[in-house]
Structure 1
Amino acid sequence: MRTTSDVFHLAIPTHDLDAAQEFYVTKLGCKLARRYDDRITLDFFGDQLVCHLTPGEPAAPESLYPRHFGVTFREAADFEALHACAVTRKIPFYYEVSLRFEGLVEEHRTFVLTDPTGNLLEFKHYNDPRMMY
């Protein structure tokens, strides 16, 4: 079973390591752990994200579903701080903040960012923390 000392690992494609590093480190505030000729490894909000260099040109995302990733924040202030950071640093939004499942127990706010390769990152905050899973 995973403990709080374990780290989730996700590998995604990138078409430009410099652009990926600029997006994830400089704009989003992630920590660069390692950089090689073919990948960068990041501390993505406490988990490990690896951006692997992939040949070809970035494709515009067609839909949020089924492929996206991100963070569900326990604290509303963390959600709001990241949103403010994205606005200030002019990070491209795929979807601006919206309210989903309004009036239901699973009500939450969400926004979606687009990285330079077209990977979609969704960030959420549920009013009821029991709905995080």
Structure 2
Amino acid sequence: MLTPFHLAIPVHNLAECRHFYTNILNLEEGRSSDHWVDYNFFGHQLVIHYKPKSTEEVHTNAVDGKDVPVPHFGVVLDWRDFHSFADKLKLKHIDFVIEPYVRFKGEVGEQATMFFKDPSGNALEFKAFKDIGQLFAK
């Protein structure tokens, strides 16, 4: 059984981010107030909380020759769900930080991944493993 996690992230424009998570990612909205909104994030609880905009610089780490934003968060989806979700995001003209692609194609640990940001600059990663049993393989 999946144990849901809870994640709270800061957003500097609650209305814009509410639109993004509700209408672009199509997440189900839960409870809310003037300063925060709960979402069903693929079976987990994501809460966007208002926080004034930060001027902090974005950091990245090189992975496979790509600049991966740090910090980031996301979920591991089923292989087919990942590709369907990626196609829907492309139709909605998401500005990808890292376009959907497959790493280690045909090898152990084959996985699909993509990165993009919400309107407040929070980086999200969605990935899928061809063989989910490789999720924590060393």
Gaps of 5+ in 2: 61-67
Aligned counterparts, 1:41-56, within 5 A: 41-56=38-53
**SS of residue paired to 2:53:** coil
State TM-score, norm by structure 2. 0.83
Q: Which one-letter code corresponds to 1:72 in the other structure?
A: V
Specify the alignment match of 2:97 in structure 1.
94
Q: Aligned match of 2:77 in 56, 73, 88?
A: 73
**SS of residue paired to 1:105:** coil
* 8 Å contact from structure 1 (residues 15, 58) kept in 2: no
Q: Which moved more, 1:89-98 or 1:15-24?
A: 89-98
The 2-side partners of 1:16 and 1:61 are apart by 18
**SS of residue paired to 2:59:** coil
Specify the alignment match of 2:129 in structure 1.
126
Q: How many residues align?
A: 129
* 8 Å contact from structure 1 (residues 58, 116) kept in 2: no
Aligned counterparts, 1:102-117, within 5 A: 102-117=105-120
**SS of residue paired to 2:37:** strand
- Using CA pairs below 8 Å that are at least 6 residues apart, which structure has the higher relative contact order? 1
CA change 1:59–1:92 in 2 (3 A) is farther
Q: Which one-letter code corresponds to 2:102 in the other structure?
A: L
Gaps of 5+ in 1: none
* 8 Å contact from structure 2 (residues 115, 124) kept in 1: yes
